[in-house]
Amino acid sequence: MQTDLRGRDLIGDLDFSKEEVETVLDVAWDLKRKRALGEPHAYLRDKVLAMLFFFPSTRTRGSFEAGIDQLGGHAAFIESRTTQISHGDTERELGEIFGRYFDGIAIRHVTWGVGNRYINLVAEASRVPVFNMQCEIYHPFQILADLMTMMEKKGRDLRRKKLVVSWAYASSYLKPISVPQSLILQMTRFGMDVTLVHPPEFGLMPDIVDQAKAQAHKYGSSFEVISDPDGMEAAMKDADVIYAKSWGPLMTTTDPDEGKRIQDQYKHWIMDSKKLAVAKDDVIYMHPLPADRDIEVTSEVLDGPHSVVFDEAENRLHVQKAVMALTMR
C-alpha cells in the first residue's frame, strides 16, 4: 500500500501508479463499508473543495458534493459563467487564489484543445491538490469507479478478462472521447485484454493509443484496435465486460455539422440484446451515463440483468471520497 498521497493532483489516469490506484481502491472499499454501516468517517473535517464547472454535470457534481460532506468537509459549486473568468481571470489567478481559499480544487472542462491545458495550468499555480472531473482527454474518476465495479463483479484479479470498449451511436451531441481513452489506459494496467472497436472515423488520440499499447506490454495484457464500419458485434465475442458508449469523431473533424453527418451513418451501432448474446453468459454491461435510451443502448440492455450502470454510478462516490481523503489531509 502506498501510504502518502498528500497534496497530489489527479489529472491524467497515469498520474497515480498502479500501486497507488490499488491504495485508492482499498480506501474506497473501506469507506463504502463505513457508509453502509453508518460509521462516522469525517477525515476531512472543515476542509473545503472548490468545484469549477465549464460543462454540465449530474453524477460528477452530486457525488463530489455528497462525498466531501460525508468526509466532514464542504463543497463550493462554482459555475464558470458566474465568475470573472470571461473578464480576465487567468488559470494562474484561479490556481493562486483558489489555492489559498480552498483545500482542493476540482475542475470539469471538456472543450477540445482547451480543457486539459486549463486544468494543468491551474495545478501549476495551486498550492492544494487539483482534480480533473473530466477534460477532453481524460476522465480519471469515472474510470476508477469503473475499475472498482469490475473488481466487485469479476474479482480483484482481472488478468485475462476480456473488456470490449465499443463506440455506439447517439443522436444527442458529439460526446467527448475522454472515457474510452481513460479506459484503455487504466484497464491494460490491470491485466485486462482490451479490445477497442469503432467505425473508421472514430479513432482515439494516437499518443493515448500508443500509451495503452505500452501499458499492455508492461503488464502482460493485450490491446487490440478494430476499426471497421460493421465490427461491433463480432468484437464482443466471449467478452467478460462490455463498455459500449458514444463519442464524437474528433480525430476526424471538430466541425459539429460534419461530425453529426458522419455519426448518422452508423445508427446500426446500437448496444442491444443480439450483440450482448455473443459475449459470455455472465458478461456485464457498463456505461458512465447519461445514455441515449433506445438509440445508443436499448432499455432492455440498460435495465437488464447484465447491466451494472447504477452500481458503477454509486462507486463514483466511494473512489472520489478515497482520493480526497488521501490527498486533502
DSSP letters for 57-78: -SHHHHHHHHHHHHTT-EEEEE
Does one domain contain both 305 and 171? yes
206 and 161 fall within a common domain: yes
Q: What is the CATH number of the domain that holds 38?
A: 3.40.50.1370
| Same domain? 211 vs 295 | yes
Same-domain status, 134 and 146: no
Residue 107 gets the label, from left (phi > 0), alpha (psi -120 to 50) or beta, of: beta
Domain assignment present for residue 5? The answer is: no
* Residues 149 and 285 occupy one common structural domain: yes
Spatial neighbors of 177 by CB under 8 A, at least 6 apart, are 136, 137, 204, 205, 247, 248, 250, 251
* Residue range of the domain that includes 58: 13-139+315-327
Residue for grid cell 474528433:
250
Give pLDDT tens digits along the chain (329 positions): 777 899 999 999 999 999 999 999 999 999 999 999 999 999 999 999 999 999 989 999 999 999 999 999 999 999 999 999 989 999 999 999 999 999 999 999 999 999 999 999 999 999 999 999 999 999 999 999 999 999 999 999 999 999 999 999 999 889 999 999 999 999 999 999 999 999 999 999 999 999 999 999 999 999 999 999 999 999 999 999 999 999 999 999 999 999 999 999 999 999 999 999 999 999 999 999 999 999 999 999 999 999 999 999 999 999 999 999 999 99
Q: Alpha-carbon distance 15 to 10, whole Å?
A: 6
Backbone angles phi, psi at 319, to 5 degrees: -70, -35
What is the Cα–Cα distance from 305 to 296, expressed in whole angstroms? 18
Residues 220, 268 share a domain: yes
Structural contact between residues 279 and 301, judged by C-beta atoms closer than 8 angstroms: no
Residue 244, beta-bridge partner list: 166
Q: Do 69 and 39 belong together in one domain?
A: yes
Q: Are residues 75 and 121 in the same domain?
A: yes
Count up the domains in the chain and report the number: 2
